[in-house]
């Protein structure tokens, strides 16, 4: 075998091993996530409108949020204390469990204004379509790490967008969500949140 080919094979094997090590074990994650289930639900569907559902969430997004809580890039006293002792393996397992669960939307009629904003944005206020990043069905973008929003709790979406708008939350990539939320009114935020919370995809 040529040296170059041998080196390439070694790199591939090392890469494969590294990826396997961080893939996560959903069964182990179910047990490790017991501390999370009090707020986020046993299957990742939250009990409260103010706490996010984690079921079916994009793994890359979930992993980033947990690490951001650990590093202080995202601030929340409760979450910081919950994640401070988690290892990389713990995070991978917990993420594997919650991301493999089925998200359950809230009951209720969809919000037509919210749907219009989500799909088409608002050219008069320069609010871009949310669907451009989060997908037409709001299931997120795995490779980019953009979160699933379909079936998310309305109260949590309102809080997240309001926090981005006021710059209380600043852990979004390149300030993208801060820029979007800055152009949204309270009514815009409420409408989009109402639409997404009942979207069952």
Burial of 67 (0-12, 13-18, 19+ CB in 10 A): middle
Whether residues 49 and 125 share a domain: the answer is: no
Say which CATH number the domain at 130 has: 1.10.760.10
pLDDT at res. 110: 85
Q: What is the pTM of this model?
A: 0.87
7 part of a folded domain: no
CA–CA distance, 141 with 162 (Å, rounded to integer): 22
88 with 36, same domain: the answer is yes
Confidence of residue 77 (pLDDT cuts 50, 70, 90): very high
Whole-number pLDDT of residue 23: 85
Per-residue pLDDT tens over the stretch 123-169: 999 999 999 999 999 999 999 999 999 999 999 999 999 999 999 99
Domain-embedded: residue 105: no
Instruction: For tokens 């939307």, name the residue.
Output: 105
User: Would you place residue 22 in the very low, low, confident or very high pLDDT band (cuts 50, 70, 90)?
Assistant: low
Domain range enclosing 135: 112-197
Same domain, 79 and 142: no
Structurally, how many domains does the chain consist of?
2
Confidence of residue 19 (pLDDT cuts 50, 70, 90): very low
């Amino acid at each position: 075998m040529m040296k170059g080919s041998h080196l390439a094979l070694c790199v591939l094997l090392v890469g494969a091993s590294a990826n396997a090590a961080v893939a996560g074990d959903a069964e182990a994650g179910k047990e490790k996530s017991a501390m999370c289930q009090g707020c986020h639900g046993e299957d990742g569907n939250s009990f409260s409108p103010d706490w996010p559902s984690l079921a079916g969430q994009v793994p890359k997004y979930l992993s980033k949020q947990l690490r951001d809580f650990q590093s202080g890039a995202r601030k929340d006293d409760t979450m910081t204390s919950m994640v401070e002792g988690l290892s990389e393996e713990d995070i991978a397992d917990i993420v594997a469990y919650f991301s493999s669960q089925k998200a359950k939307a809230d009951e209720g009629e969809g919000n037509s204004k919210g749907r219009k904003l989500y799909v088409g944005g608002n050219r008069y206020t320069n609010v871009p379509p949310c669907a451009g990043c989060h997908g037409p069905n709001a299931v997120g973008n795995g490779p980019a790490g953009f979160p699933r929003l379909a079936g998310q709790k309305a109260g949590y979406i309102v809080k997240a967008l309001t926090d981005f708008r006021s710059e209380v939350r600043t852990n979004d990539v390149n300030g993208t969500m801060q820029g979007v939320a800055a152009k949204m009114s309270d009514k815009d935020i409420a409408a989009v949140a109402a639409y997404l919370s009942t979207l069952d995809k």
